[in-house]
C-alpha cells in the first residue's frame, strides 16, 4: 500500500476524542516489521530509515527523553545515540562515536557534523561539498539552514605530487 504508515498513524485516532499520536519508537517498530516482512518475501525496500523523536510516558504523553533508531532494508533495527546511513556508517560513524559526548554544545555538534561531511566529501568522487544542516527542538520547531559549501583544502602535498615517482602521472 502506498501510504501504509500514514494510514496506520491516523486510522486508530481518527474518530477518538483524544489526539493520540504514536511515538517515534512505535513508528520505528512498525517500520522494522514492514522491512523484515518485505525481506522475507524477497522484495525488500532498498532503504535505511532513521527515526528520531521522543519516547512516550506510561500515560501516553510525550516524554522529554529523545529516541533515535535505525531500520535497514532487511529489517535489522537498533537504537543508539549516534546513527549514520550509507557511506557515513562506515566513515563518519566511528568519528562521531570517538568525539561525541552527551553534553555537547550546538556549535560543537555542528563542527563535528561538518568535519564528518567534509571527510565523506573527500572520499566520495560523486559527492558535493554543498550541505544543509537541520535542527529539531523539543517544542517541535524545525530549523533548516540554507545550503552552504564546506571549506575544503586540496593543496595537500599528496594530492599534487607524482605517485609513481618515476616521472609519470601516477596512473597505471
- Which residues, at least 6 apart from 88, have a Cβ–Cβ distance to it below 8 Å? 116, 120
Q: Residue 63 and residue 53: Cα distance in Å, rounded?
A: 10
Chain CA centroid to CA 10, Å: 25
Spatial neighbors of 146 by CB under 8 A, at least 6 apart, are 132
Phi and psi torsions of 47, nearest 5°: -135, 150
**Angle ∠(67,114,144) on CA atoms, nearest 5:** 60
pLDDT digits (tens, 9 = 90+) for 10-23: 555 444 545 556 78
Can you give the pLDDT at residue 107? 94
Output the pLDDT for position 166: 59
In the chain, which stretches have pLDDT less than 50?
13-15, 17
So what's the pLDDT on residue 57? Answer: 84
pLDDT of residue 153: 83
What's residue 103's pLDDT? Answer: 92
State the Rg of the chain over Cα. 21
Q: Which of 118, 127, 136 is nearest to 54 (CA)?
A: 136
Amino acid at each position: 500500500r502506498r501510504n501504509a504508515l500514514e494510514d496506520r498513524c491516523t486510522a486508530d485516532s481518527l474518530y477518538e476524542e483524544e489526539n493520540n499520536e504514536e511515538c517515534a519508537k512505535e513508528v520505528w517498530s512498525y517500520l522494522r516489521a514492514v522491512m523484515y516482512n518485505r525481506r522475507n518475501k524477497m522484495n525488500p525496500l532498498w532503504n535505511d530509515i532513521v527515526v528520531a523523536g521522543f519516547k512516550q510516558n506510561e500515560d501516553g504523553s510525550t516524554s522529554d527523553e529523545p529516541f533515535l533508531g535505525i531500520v535497514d532494508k532487511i529489517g535489522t533495527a537498533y537504537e543508539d545515540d549516534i546513527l549514520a546511513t550509507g557511506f557515513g556508517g562506515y566513515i563518519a560513524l566511528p568519528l562521531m562515536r570517538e568525539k561525541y559526548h552527551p553534553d555537547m554544545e550546538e556549535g560543537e555538534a555542528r563542527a563535528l557534523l561538518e568535519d564528518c561531511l567534509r571527510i565523506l566529501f573527500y572520499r566520495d568522487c560523486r559527492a558535493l561539498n554543498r550541505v544543509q544542516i537541520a535542527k529539531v527542538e523539543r517544542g517541535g520547531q524545525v530549523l533548516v539552514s540554507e545550503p552552504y559549501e564546506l571549506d575544503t583544502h586540496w593543496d595537500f602535498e599528496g594530492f599534487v605530487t607524482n605517485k609513481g615517482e618515476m616521472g609519470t602521472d601516477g596512473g597505471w
